[in-house]
Structures are given as C-alpha cells and as structure tokens.
Amino acid sequence: MILLTDWLNFSRFVVTRHQTETPPRLTYLIPPRLCCLQEEAVWKALAYYDSCMDVEEIERLKGKPLERLIAEYGSWSITDKSWLEQDWELIPNLANVHKHLALPVLFSTTVVIDHKNSSQNVITVI
C-alpha cells in the first residue's frame, strides 16, 4: 500500500516503484474519501475516476457515448450514413468543439497579458 503523506512528492516514480513491489492496484492511490468530501474538486475527480472504472457499464454501452458526442459536434460519415460533406460547416463545428470540449483541434488558443500594455490581454492562436 502506498502511504501518501505528502501529495507534492507524489509522482509516476512512486507508482512505478509500488507496482514492482506489489500487484498493481490503482485503488491504492485514491486517498480516503471521507476526509475530502467537502472539497468539490476532489469529489468531482473521484466521481470521474469511479465512472471510468465502471467496467460493466463501459462494456454495456460500447461506443454509444462517443457516437452521441460525434453526432452532437457535427457528425461524421462513418457514424451517420446520411452525412453529406456539402452540408457540413467547418467553422461552427470547430468553434463548438473548442468552446464546449476545450480540445485543441487543429490549433489552440490562450489569453495572455499584452507585454507592451499590461492593462490589455492578447489572444494567441497556435
């Protein structure tokens, strides 16, 4: 069992060392839940972890959640047989993916302070 007394020193090396010493079990890495339930960020992270570890539900749903996500953000000829390229618009679909999913598809954007005028911000596109 890994005892994490200091989360700042926790790293992939600790996990690797632990996995070579004992059988790998990711659940050892989860801190006791009762001490952290008041922290919303910790609660959300634990809920996300639990949803990823629900193997039976993942197997039952197969690819349906991904197919729904693809359909919601512009569809695709592989998932929707009625999809037509001439009806698909790049800019609105790309903007929705960047806005709602925060995925850097084709480019990424950040907002930084303008070095010439610190009272203004600059949007950078990479």
For 4-67, the three-class secondary structure string (H helix, E strand, C coil) is CCCHHHCCHHHHHHHHHHCCCCHHHHCCCCCCCCCCHHHHHHHHHHHHHHCHHHHHHHCCHHHH
Q: What is the pLDDT averaged over residues 54-75?
A: 89
State the pLDDT at residue 7.
45
pLDDT digits (tens, 9 = 90+) for 18-59: 555 544 455 555 555 566 667 788 778 888 888 788 888 889
Phi, psi of 123 (to 5 degrees): -90, 125
Q: Is the pLDDT of residue 74 over 80?
A: yes
Run of H or E residues at 70 = helix 64-72
Q: What is the CA radius of gyration of the chain?
A: 21
Phi, psi of 24 (to 5 degrees): -70, 125
Mapped onto helix, strand or coil, the DSSP state of residue 123 is strand
State the pLDDT at residue 126.
86
More confident residue, 82 or 17: 82
Run of H or E residues at 109 = strand 109-113
What pTM value is reported for the model?
0.50
